[in-house]
Amino acid sequence: MRKLYAISDIHGCYDQLIHLLDQIPPLGPDDKIIFLGDYIDRGPKSYEVVQHLLQLPKESTIFLKGNHEDLLLEYIEGDYGAYTCWIRNGGEETIKSYNNAVGGSNDEEFQIPQEHLDFYRNLILFYETEHYFFVHAGLNPYRSLTDQSKEDLLWIRDPFILSKKKLPTDRKVIFGHTPLKSPLVMEDKIGIDTCCFMTGRLTCLQLPDEKFYTT
């Protein structure tokens, strides 16, 4: 049976990422690892995280965008108003990580290798399979699936998690973004952000078994 593995909110925690990936059984030809975004910021090794992800087999990996990558891209692409929000949300640690890796001072504008920049620009907002809908933050239960905004998919929390309204998809939603003490398992959704940069616990969900691996 095909296995799917979901990992979210790495936030520069490179050591935990390596430990977690080592726990995942060898992948079959149809198995995939779906990363739900927020690879960078807050933790100390954002550069190392992205560099390692780039080395993983492309045929078995799916990379979604998180709100932190979106803030970084908005800043890089000229929205300097996004800079303050990005720094407030841990962007300074990303700057330090890149400057340590590629050279430069923490006081000057940091440089991102083209391969990393391409990675950020090619991230997708969601990924669907027959039974699951993978997304960084969640879905707005008051909008149809086709009317979801980027802000909904990258930032939503309580209106998605706490709502009793039927979600606009029959697939079970697998999400991160909202920090949890332990994975949240509900009938229509599973949350897997266990706040690694603070707790040291990075979580992987194996589907369809709903088995969890953690650091």
Residue 163 lies in a domain: no
* Residue 78 confidence class, pLDDT cut points 50, 70, 90: confident
Question: pTM score, two decimals?
Answer: 0.96
Residue 158 lies in a domain: no
pLDDT above 70 for 108: no
Question: Residue 82 has what pLDDT?
Answer: 86
pLDDT in tens, 138-180: 999 999 999 999 999 999 999 999 999 999 999 999 999 999 9
CA 174-177-182 angle, to 5 degrees, is 75
Residue 133 lies in a domain: no
Q: In angstroms, rounded to a whole number, what is the distance separating the alpha carbons of residues 192 and 179?
A: 8
Q: CB–CB of 27/55 below 8 Å?
A: no
Question: Residue 124 has what pLDDT?
Answer: 98
Domain at 192, CATH number:
3.60.21.10
- Where are the alpha helices (H) located in 77-111, listed in sequence order? 81-86, 92-102
Summarize the confidence of residues 181-203 as an average pLDDT: 97
Domain of 118, in residue numbers: 4-124+179-214
DSSP tag of 64:
B
Residue 156 lies in a domain: no
The domain tally of the chain equals: 1
